[in-house]
């Protein structure tokens, strides 16, 4: 399934969560490996938006709030390095609006690749 083109990606999710160093569940160092920083957070937003335009989302579960989806793929950052990512999205039940929830390293994909070597 393709996510709606008008899916919302909140600036704060990128600038105050993903790209900000945290004591627990820090994703900023992982994203920095591909060149994503607070200074170029719009690039991360653009790359996420391109995912929903070019990739199919896979249904994960139904929650009281809506349908959860994931997109597992590689994203090439500003410095040319690729990261294997799993992005999580929701399409709200009441509004039909898509929203970006989070992203993290796609370890499952990496483990699958290692098993085939």
d(CA 69, CA 101): 10
Q: CB under 8 Å to 33, separation ≥6 — which residues?
A: 77, 81, 83
Residue 83, domain member (yes or no): yes
**Residue 75 lies in domain:** 11-116
Residue 2, domain member (yes or no): no
Q: CB under 8 Å to 19, separation ≥6 — which residues?
A: 27, 28, 31, 36, 37, 38, 41, 44
Residue 28, domain member (yes or no): yes
Residue 47, domain member (yes or no): yes
Residue 53, domain member (yes or no): yes
Residue 4, domain member (yes or no): no
Residue 91, domain member (yes or no): yes
Residue 52, domain member (yes or no): yes
Show the tokens assigned to 59. Answer: 């249904």
d(CA 77, CA 60): 26
Q: What angle do CA 13, 102, 115 make, to 5 degrees?
A: 150
| The pTM of the whole model exceeds 0.85 | yes
**How many domains would you assign to the chain?**
1
* Pairwise pLDDT comparison (114 vs 6), residue with the higher score: 6
* 12-65 tens-digit pLDDT: 999 999 999 999 989 999 999 999 999 999 999 999 999 999 999 999 999 999
The CATH number given to whatever domain includes residue 100 is 3.10.450
Across the range 78-91, mean pLDDT stands at 97
β-bridge partners, 82: 76
Per-residue pLDDT, 117: 44
């Amino acid at each position: 399934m393709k996510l709606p083109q008008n899916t919302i990606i909140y600036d704060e999710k990128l600038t105050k969560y993903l790209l900000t160093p945290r004591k627990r569940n820090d994703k900023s160092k992982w994203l920095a490996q591909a060149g994503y920083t607070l200074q170029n957070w719009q690039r991360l937003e653009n790359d996420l938006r391109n995912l929903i335009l070019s990739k199919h989302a896979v249904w994960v579960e139904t929650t009281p709030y809506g349908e959860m989806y994931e997109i597992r793929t590689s994203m090439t950052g500003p410095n040319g390095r690729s990261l294997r990512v799993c992005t999580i999205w929701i399409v709200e039940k009441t509004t039909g609006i898509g929203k970006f929830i989070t992203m993290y390293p796609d370890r499952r994909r990496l483990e699958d690749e290692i098993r085939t070597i």
